[in-house]
Amino acid sequence: MDKKAIFLFLLVIFSLKMFDATVATTGALKALCYGFMFVGIALSIPHIFKFKGGFVLPVQLICFSVFISIFMAQYTWGQGLSNSPTTIPYAIGFTFFYLLSIRIPIKTIEKIVMIYGVIYIILFLFQFTHNGTVYFGRAQEFKIDRGIVRVNFPGGGVFFLACFIAINRVTSLANNYKYLYLAFALAGIVIIVLQVTRQEIVVLLMVYLIHFLRSVKLFYKVAIIAVFAIGGYLFINSDNPVSKGLSAQQKEDASYGKDYIRILAADYYLTQFTPNGISKILGNGFANDTSNYGKALIALGDRYGYFLTDVGLVEVYVSFGIFAILGYFLIFVKSFTIPVPKEYYYLKYYLWMIMLTCLTSDFLISYYFLITTVLVLYCYQLLYEQGKLKLSLS
C-alpha cells in the first residue's frame, strides 16, 4: 500500500479506538487515537467547500452540525470548551472531504474493509471465548442475556460493510475466490446471531435475501426463499438458548405496547429534555460523561432507562439538531436515486442498513460506524462523479 492507503488504514483503526480496546481507553494509546483522528480532521477542513453534487451537501450539513454542537453544549448546559475533545470521534465525517482530495481507489478501500472484517471476526471470537474479562468494549455489554453471554462487539460498521462486499463478490466473481467470500458471508450470519441483537439479525438476513434474489431465475428465487424460511423456522423452534432468549425478549417487548421503554425515552427527549428554543434547532451538543450535562444523561439512563443511544434519530436530533437530521435524510434519499453499477451494490446495502436501524440504534452517531459511513459515502461519491463524467462525454 502507498502512503495515502497506509494513512487511511491507520485512520480506520484509530477512529474505532482500536475496536474500543480497554488498553486504549487511557494513556498513550488513547492520545494516539485522538491525535490521529484530529490530524485527519485538520487535513480535511481546507477541502470542505471544494466539491459539489452527490453527497457533498448532506455531509457538509452533518459536519456543520457537529462543529456547532461544541458551542451548543456550552450554551445549553454549561459544558466547558475544555471538554470539546470528546467530539473528535464524532467529527470524523470531515475526512470525507480529505478522501475526495486524495482520490484513493475504491479497490483499495475494499481491501482495507475486508482486512478489518477478518480482524473483527478473530477478535470477536477471542472475546466471546474469554468473556470473563473485558478486552474490547464496555463491561455493561457483557452479560447473560437472551440465552447467551452477550458480547456486543465494537466496530460493527466495518464488519457489516465487509459482509455486504462479500455477498456482492459471491455473485459477481467467476473464480474460486467467491467461495472464500461466501464463507465470510456465512460467518457474518453466525457472528451477528451470537450477538443476539434482533434488529441486526433481521436487517442482515433481509439484505442477504434481497441480494441473492436479484437477477436470478424463478427456480432459484423459490429455492433461496425456501432455504431462508426453513432455516428461520428451524432456528426459532429449536431448543437452543439463543432462539429461546430472542423469542422471550420479543414477547416481553411486545407486551409493553405504548409503554415500551424506547417509546417513552424518545417522547421524553423530544418533548421535555431540551431547555431552550435555539437548542431545539441546533441541538444540545455532545455530552462529556464528566460534565454536568453528561451526568444528567447518565442519571436518566440509570433511573428511568432513558438511554439516548437507544432512540436513534432522536439522539442525532438532541445532540446535533435539525440540520444533521436533514443531512441524513438527504443521504437516504440519494441512496435510492443515485445509481451504482451492480458490483457496488454493497454501498446501497450499507446505507439502507443504517436507515432501517436508525430509529432504535445509535449507528448514525456511533464512532463504531461513522468511519465506515465515511468510506461508503466517499466511494459512492466517486462513482457518482464518474457517472456524470461519462454522461458529459457521451
Once rounded to an integer, what is the mean pLDDT over residues 109-120?
97
As a whole number of angstroms, the distance between CA 300 and CA 382 comes to 43
Quick one: the chain helix, strand, coil %, rounded to 5? 75, 5, 20
The rounded percent of the chain whose pLDDT value lies above 90 is 64
pLDDT at 257 over 50: no
As a whole number of angstroms, the distance between CA 153 and CA 151 comes to 6
> Given this model, what pLDDT does residue 391 score?
65
What distance lies between CA 307 and its chain's CA centroid?
A: 18
Once rounded to an integer, what is the mean pLDDT over residues 323-352?
96
The model's pLDDT over 264-273, given as tens digits with 9 standing for 90+, comes to 999 999 999 9
How would you label 216-240 residue by residue, b for 16+ Cβ within 10 Å and e otherwise? eeeeeeeebeeebeeeeeeeeeeee
User: Comparing C-alpha atoms, which of 105, 99, 95, 109 is closest to residue 41?
Assistant: 95
pLDDT at 254 over 60: no
pLDDT at 247 over 80: no
Once rounded to an integer, what is the mean pLDDT over residues 99-113?
96
Cell numbers that stand for 222 in this block: 423459490
Mean pLDDT value across the chain: 87
What letter would DSSP give residue 49?
T
* Residue 341, φ and ψ in degrees, nearest 5: -60, 150
The pLDDT-based confidence of 166 (bands split at 50, 70, 90) is very high
Q: Which string of DSSP letters, residue by residue, matches 360-387?
A: TS-TTT-HHHHHHHHHHHHHHHHHHHHH
pLDDT at 213 over 90: no
The pLDDT-based confidence of 47 (bands split at 50, 70, 90) is very high
Contact by Cβ (8 Å): 148, 242: yes
Once rounded to an integer, what is the mean pLDDT over residues 330-341?
95
As a whole number of angstroms, the distance between CA 312 and CA 28 comes to 32
Range(s) of the domain holding residue 207: 3-393
* Residue 150, φ and ψ in degrees, nearest 5: -80, 120
**What total of structural domains would you count in the chain?**
1
pLDDT at 279 over 50: yes
Q: Which of 3-12, 147-156, 213-222, 283-292 has the highest mean pLDDT?
A: 3-12
> Given this model, what pLDDT does residue 158 score?
97
Torsion 53-55-58-62 (CA) sign: negative
> Given this model, what pLDDT does residue 149 score?
73
User: Comparing C-alpha atoms, which of 11, 102, 14, 97 is closest to residue 59?
Assistant: 97
As a whole number of angstroms, the distance between CA 63 and CA 52 comes to 15
pLDDT at 126 over 60: yes
The model's pLDDT over 171-195, given as tens digits with 9 standing for 90+, comes to 887 667 888 999 999 999 999 988 8
